[in-house]
Structure 1
Amino acid sequence: MLSLQDIKGPYHAIFSLGNNCLPGIELREHGLRRFAGPIDWMGTPVLPQISRMLRNRFEGMLVYSNLLMVNQASEELYNIWDQEYDLYLNHDFYVHNNFPPDLLGYPDVKIKYDRRIARFLQTLGSGGRILFIRTDSSREDIKELVDSLKQICYGPFHVLAVNHEPVQEIEMLDWNLEHVCAVKMPNVDIWFSNRFRWSFLFQGMYLI
């Protein structure tokens, strides 16, 4: 089990591993994100699927025949489901140039994600120190995630697991997992009210 003190210090990169946009937003707001990771802006509710995708080095991600329109996420965007890995894309397929089931904007979206995947895998293969952040996941699923990351990371890495629960302040979770620091923070208004708590978590971390 790692403490917050154990995961402080320099990192070559810090990546969000879901389960929604929140880690990516907090990394951006705290100046800890130089470029977008492959799933920063997706809904990824099923962590075992993400672990499998990492073991597969993203093979089969965003195959056109696996994409299905779920609903219209906003006036401008559709929510598209990648059935292979349970990915929900609600920031990429615009209403003005996609006409489900025909996703005419697909080629540009695929190019963008292929670029992010290549950069992600290159970074993990560089041997640098990497931090991964995942929200709202079980101990068992985080353990599987660590096992998957061991297969593709060529340097030291840590996982910061942040679960939103009915607590008053940040509390440590005693998961006793290698590579993992697990905490819980208040589950009220998670998109706005916890910014200073994320600042506390990130204190002493910086990119090199």
Structure 2
Amino acid sequence: MKREELLGGYDAIFSLGDLCLTSIQLKKHGLRPYSGVFDWAATPILSKVNMMLRNRFAQFMEVSHLRAIGPASDTMLCVADDYYDFVSNHDFELSKNTMTYLGSYYEVMDKYNRRINRFLYAMNTARRILFVRTEGDFGDVMELQATLRGMVKNDFNILVINHEAVDGIVEKNWPLPNVYAVAFPNSVDKWEGNNALWSEILQGIYLEN
């Protein structure tokens, strides 16, 4: 799709990972009024995100799939859902959880279930939705497009940003309807070094409400 087709108002905008970077940039640009399922986790394998979406989050973070990895920070425990390759760095407080006992599991799941229900509700009710994903190859993005087409009742677009050996913003021109894919430089700190490029790519996109 062409860039101008991406622009305009959306009823909902969701990050699909692969890191917190996407949600941080959406919030910075006034495009994230609430946290989504993928905002504060690592989801490096897009095919697993596609599977999670197709399953409508069934078996997401079931106890039998969880593995405590170690401290994510001074206050948080890093916990992986090995079924979906979903890694949480911001949910399990060290004051409530250990490597062998996740004491706040049900509290964390209450939060995620609210986010999941909000996400699925938007799939059925929003007039127009934008999904933003960093890192995904053509095949996995094509699968993502097909998966979302089976979930979203009305219109949607996907913005894909890959980090590659490029200068500035490079359009990928993938022949996929509803998908606008670009490359950003990977030669800088992607957490801060591409701030101006994020601002440029998100200019002209806004939330309707």
Give the superposition deviation at 1:123. Answer: 0.8
What residue number does 2:150 align with?
Answer: 151
Secondary structure at 2:201's aligned position in 1? helix
The residue type equivalent to 1:192 in the other structure is: E
Secondary structure at 2:125's aligned position in 1? coil
The residue type equivalent to 1:204 in the other structure is: G
Secondary structure at 1:93's aligned position in 2? strand
% identical aligned pairs: 41
What is the rounded CA distance, in whole Å, between the counterparts of 2:74 and 2:34 in structure 1?
A: 27
What is the rounded CA distance, in whole Å, between the counterparts of 1:128 and 1:17 in structure 2?
A: 19
The residue type equivalent to 1:75 in the other structure is: D
Number of residues of Structure 1 aligned to a counterpart in Structure 2:
207
Secondary structure at 1:79's aligned position in 2? strand
What residue number does 2:105 align with?
Answer: 106
What residue number does 1:203 align with?
Answer: 203
TM-score by length of 2: 0.97
What residue number does 1:168 align with?
Answer: 167
Give the superposition deviation at 1:75. Answer: 1.4
**2:67 pairs with 1:68:** yes
Secondary structure at 2:113's aligned position in 1? helix
Q: Which runs of 5+ in 1 are unaligned?
A: none
What is the rounded CA distance, in whole Å, between the counterparts of 2:37 and 2:73 in structure 1?
A: 22
- How far does the alpha carbon of each residue in 1:125-163 deviate from its partner, in whole angstroms, 9 at most, with x for none? 104100001111101010011111111101100000000
Which aligned segments of 4 or more residues in structure 1 are displaced greater than 2 angstroms? none
**Superposition RMSD in Å:** 0.9
What is the rounded CA distance, in whole Å, between the counterparts of 2:103 and 2:18 in structure 1?
A: 27
Give the superposition deviation at 1:174. Answer: 2.1
What is the rounded CA distance, in whole Å, between the counterparts of 1:85 and 1:128 in structure 2?
A: 29
What is the rounded CA distance, in whole Å, between the counterparts of 2:104 and 2:126 in structure 1?
A: 35
What residue number does 1:10 align with?
Answer: 9
TM-score by length of 1: 0.97
What is the rounded CA distance, in whole Å, between the counterparts of 1:168 and 1:89 in structure 2?
A: 32
- How far does the alpha carbon of each residue in 1:143-202 deviate from its partner, in whole angstroms, 9 at most, with x for none? 011111111101100000000111110010021112100000111110001111111111
CA contact under 8 A between 2:29 and 2:199: conserved in structure 1?
Answer: yes
1:184-195 equivalences in 2 (<5 Å):
184-187=183-186, 188-195=188-195
1:20-169 equivalences in 2 (<5 Å):
20-169=19-168
What is the rounded CA distance, in whole Å, between the counterparts of 1:151 and 1:84 in structure 2?
A: 22
Secondary structure at 1:152's aligned position in 2? coil
